[in-house]
Amino acid sequence: MKTLTWALGALVLCTTAGLATAQDWPRQNVKILVGSSPGGGTDAMARAIADRLGPLLKQAVVVENRAGASNTLAADLTAKSTDGHTMIMGVSTAHAIAPHLLKLNYNNDKDLVPVAFVGSVPNVLVANMALPVTSVDDLVKLARSRPGQLNYATSGSGSTQHIAAEMFKDVTGLFITHIPYRGSSPALVDLMGGAVQISFDTMPSVIGHVRNGKIRPLAVAAAKRNPQMPDVPTMAEAGVKGVEMSAWYGIYMPASTPRDVITRVNAEVNKVIAMPETQARLSAIGADLTPMTPEAFLAFHNAENKRYSDLIRRKNIKLE
């Protein structure tokens, strides 16, 4: 009887401790991992959220860049973290595309949980300023006259840049060569330097370089023009239909995260998204901000995985 009483008491204490842990969260600095190098679209999203999220959580929120493996290195580290204070600024590359192209060391649907959706940005076809093209039609003609001689840069195999370019190749029948990098920043450095000729990078990564006249935008891979580049046509307007690609971003945490922590992070991130400062900061880089509940984000995550799985299979896209 004494043993039973002790066991019940221990159970109550453990349960109470678990509740206290969730109620007192966070008890230390919070880390947001980013699966790409500093300066890219995912990094910009993470820092915009982290800067405002810290005061709401009453703890510092630190962004750490862990580039590699199509953003999945950071996802793997997040999935396996046990400190209870690690999350990732997830991107469609890692959470909707890579699972259908790579053999992952974690389960994309079981080891991570969607917590708070942030928003999406379109991919933009950009070219080196020295390339003798000012339109998509010019690029298509040039690429056809130089089969295999034009290179396109991406932030890694399986990225939205890679998938968008493969869609472009499929629709146009062009032969252009893929040059993967470890993140958008080094890819754009080589694009501006002329080592590669084009890229289908995301709006946040390219917009500053476009405004500074370092690279030339040819088309936005979206259904409609972006307010930040109103004079740049959509891919369909430029004469190439069927090439639409946007990157989306959201906070994921380990599946072991207590439900009330997920609820709180979702509520606080949604507050950050609603702030005029955040709206202005992210709208300026072409982002469409869309707060969601965890349930809505999970449904979106599942739908996007199906969409990309079908696309990759239909287009027979493979890693090189």
The CATH number of the domain where 149 resides is what? 3.40.190.10
Q: Of 179, 203, 220, which residue constitutes the final position of a domain? A: 220
Do 77 and 109 share a domain, yes or no?
yes
- Whether 234 maps to a domain, the answer reads no
Q: What is the pLDDT of residue 252?
A: 98
Q: What is the pLDDT of residue 21?
A: 52
Tokens representing residue 142 in the block: 């040039």
Q: What is the pLDDT of residue 7?
A: 46
- Whether 9 maps to a domain, the answer reads no
Question: Domain range spanning residue 101?
Answer: 28-120+248-315
- pLDDT digit string (tens) for the chain, length 320 residues: 444 444 445 444 444 344 435 578 999 999 999 998 888 789 999 999 999 999 999 999 999 999 888 889 999 999 999 999 999 999 999 999 999 999 999 999 999 999 999 999 999 999 999 999 999 999 999 999 999 999 999 988 888 999 999 999 999 999 999 999 988 889 999 999 999 999 999 998 899 999 999 999 999 999 999 999 999 999 999 999 999 999 999 999 999 999 999 999 999 999 999 999 999 999 999 999 999 999 999 999 999 999 999 989 988 888 76
Do 132 and 192 share a domain, yes or no?
yes
**Residue 78 sits in a domain of what CATH number?**
3.40.190.150
Q: What is the pLDDT of residue 16?
A: 39
Q: What is the pLDDT of residue 248?
A: 96
How many domains are there within the chain? 2
Q: What is the pLDDT of residue 158?
A: 84
- Whether 44 maps to a domain, the answer reads yes
Q: What is the pLDDT of residue 40?
A: 79
Provide the terminal-to-terminal Cα distance of the chain, rounded to the nearest Å. 66
Do 142 and 72 share a domain, yes or no?
no
Of 106, 136, 292, 126, nearest to 216 by C-alpha is: 126
Q: What is the pLDDT of residue 15?
A: 41
Do 116 and 133 share a domain, yes or no?
no
Q: What is the DSSP string of the chain?
A: -HHHHHHHHHHHHHHHHHHHHHHT--SS-EEEEESS-TTSHHHHHHHHHHHHHHHHHTS-EEEEE---TTTHHHHHHHHH--SS-EEEEEEHIIIIIGGGTS--SS-TTTTEEEEEEEEEEEBEEEEETTSS-SSHHHHHHHHHHSTTT-EEEESSTTSHHHHHHHHHHHHH----EEEE-SSHHHHHHHHHHTSS-EE--BHHHHHHHHHTTSEEEEEE-SSS--TTSTTSPBTTTTT-TT---EEEEEEEEETTS-HHHHHHHHHHHHHHHHSHHHHHHHHTTT-EE----HHHHHHHHHHHHHHHHHHHHHHT----
Do 108 and 48 share a domain, yes or no?
yes
- Whether 231 maps to a domain, the answer reads no
- Whether 320 maps to a domain, the answer reads no
Do 176 and 152 share a domain, yes or no?
yes
- Whether 55 maps to a domain, the answer reads yes
Q: What is the pLDDT of residue 92?
A: 95
Do 133 and 210 share a domain, yes or no?
yes
Do 256 and 274 share a domain, yes or no?
yes
Do 208 and 291 share a domain, yes or no?
no
pTM over 0.95: no
- Whether 177 maps to a domain, the answer reads yes
Q: Of 202, 220, 238, which residue constitutes the final position of a domain? A: 220
Do 172 and 186 share a domain, yes or no?
yes
Q: What is the pLDDT of residue 12?
A: 46
Q: What is the pLDDT of residue 50?
A: 98
- Whether 112 maps to a domain, the answer reads yes
Q: What is the pLDDT of residue 4?
A: 45
Do 40 and 184 share a domain, yes or no?
no
Do 214 and 128 share a domain, yes or no?
yes
